[in-house]
Amino acid sequence: MSDRTNLVSRVLPAVGLILALMVPFYLSGFWLLLGVMVMAAAIGAIGLSLLVGTAGQLSLAHAFFLAVGAYAYCWFAGAPGPGGGGITLTGLELPPLLAAVLAVATAGVAGLLFSPVAGRVRGLYLGLASLALVFLGQHLLFNLSSVTGGFNGRGVPELSVLGFELTGRDPELTLLGVPFGDRERQWYVALVCVVVASVFARRVLAGRPGRALVLMRENETAAGVVGVPVSRYKASAFVLSSMYAGLAGVLLAQAFQRVVPEYFGLVLSVEYLAMIVIGGLGSVTGAVLGAAFVTGLPSLLSHYSGLLTFLAEPGTSGVDPAVAARLVFGVAIVAVILLEPGGLVALGRRLRLAVRYRADAAGPGDPGSPPDPVGHSALPPQDMTTASS
């Protein structure tokens, strides 16, 4: 890699972070809420990409672990009292920050309890086994009314530290003339979480655990022969993915301010699989890109449905924004599988290589490397360098 490319790869993340820090000063509440939802989904997608793309363990249970994180936070931080529909809610009234940590840990424990199943089966059988968790979770969410609020759901306590609401409006705060309400504060909380989650995932992928997971995905027998404790690594991958989902569930609950059982169904699990496939399996950057695409598209179509005259109103005959978004997801998945299995991140790598070759060819004294005749990277899509990109 040339010095110029190395410099650009170091400067771009810093520029992106600075721009992200400035967003609440310029964008409206709709865009901030959309950004929070995208960042929360990105965290969940990174966890699922570690499990499916890197460790090779198919899971359809991501919606279940998201629900565990969201509802566990509400129960740990919530106060007992009357809920909707005459239901009496229970709660521990713990400090919200402690409740968030315990919610993520609870999701990890749920993943640990399921890990023996993941250690025994793999592939399609593991996917079907994990699917049972979604149905079990839906049944519990509807019927464990004192904890979940049943059909009506449950309100979400604000995340706060020593009385300062990190995701609320109390106390009132104004910076540089901009009122910092709940959406602005949620943006920064989600930004910190997604940066920490991304850096941690990159460290895992670039280190010995990441290499072991890739070897285990390619050949479990070979991994065992070279000393990789396969069962322990499988369990660890499931626990880590579940904790990522739990954190995403806490952030989504803060964004929605109320959690309801219908949201955490099979469709949500499929959407997360779509995120990591479209973005690029086994890649942190791909998970973030896929989350932005799958989470942002329905909201954008709904927001601009007045300009898109071919879209019907929700609940009427025709293609409404939600249906249109799912059709686009389906086309995108088929296109990725047929044309670019590495997803959006591989497509971006092709463009970067093409730009670098043109720049090197135009520069004096450094003709650069010849381009790949078919435009492929020198590394396969699942190589660890790709995975940590």
Contact 345, 385 (CB under 8 A): no
- CA–CA distance, 103 with 68 (Å, rounded to integer): 7
* Overall size of the chain counted in residues: 389
pLDDT by residue (tens digit) across 210-244?
A: 999 999 888 888 888 888 888 889 889 999 999 99
pLDDT by residue (tens digit) across 126-144?
A: 888 889 999 999 999 999 9
Q: Give the percent of the chain with pLDDT over 70.
A: 90
Range 97-102 contact pairs with CB under 8 angstroms and sequence separation of 24 or more: 97/159, 97/160, 97/161, 99/72, 99/73, 99/157, 100/73, 100/159, 100/250, 102/72, 102/73, 102/76
Which residue type sits at 232? R
SS3 202: helix
- CA–CA distance, 370 with 379 (Å, rounded to integer): 15
> Would you give the distance in Å from CA 369 to the centre of its chain?
36
Phi, psi (rounded to 5 degrees) for 186: -60, -35
Mean confidence (pLDDT) of the chain: 86
Nearest to 29 by CA among 187, 195, 164: 187
Side-chain half-sphere exposure of 124, counting CA atoms within 13 A: 0
pLDDT by residue (tens digit) across 284-334?
A: 999 999 999 999 998 888 888 778 777 777 767 778 888 888 888 888 888
| Banded model confidence at residue 185, pLDDT cuts 50, 70, 90 | very high
Q: What is the pLDDT of residue 312?
A: 78
Nearest to 147 by CA among 198, 217, 74, 205: 74
Residues 6+ apart with CB under 8 A from 363: none
Q: Which residue has the higher pLDDT, 269 or 86?
A: 269
| First-residue to last-residue Cα distance in the chain | 14
Helix axes 29-49, 182-206, angle to 10 degrees: 20
- CA–CA distance, 52 with 42 (Å, rounded to integer): 15
Q: Give the percent of the chain with pLDDT over 90.
A: 52
- DSSP string for 32-62: HHHHHHHHHHHHHHHHHHIIIIIT----S-H
| Residue in this structure with the two tokens 């170091």, named with its chain if needed | 10
pLDDT by residue (tens digit) across 338-365?
A: 888 888 888 888 887 888 777 777 765 5
| Cα radius of gyration rounded to whole Å, the chain | 22
| Banded model confidence at residue 125, pLDDT cuts 50, 70, 90 | confident
Is residue 373 predicted with pLDDT exceeding 80? no
- CA–CA distance, 139 with 143 (Å, rounded to integer): 6
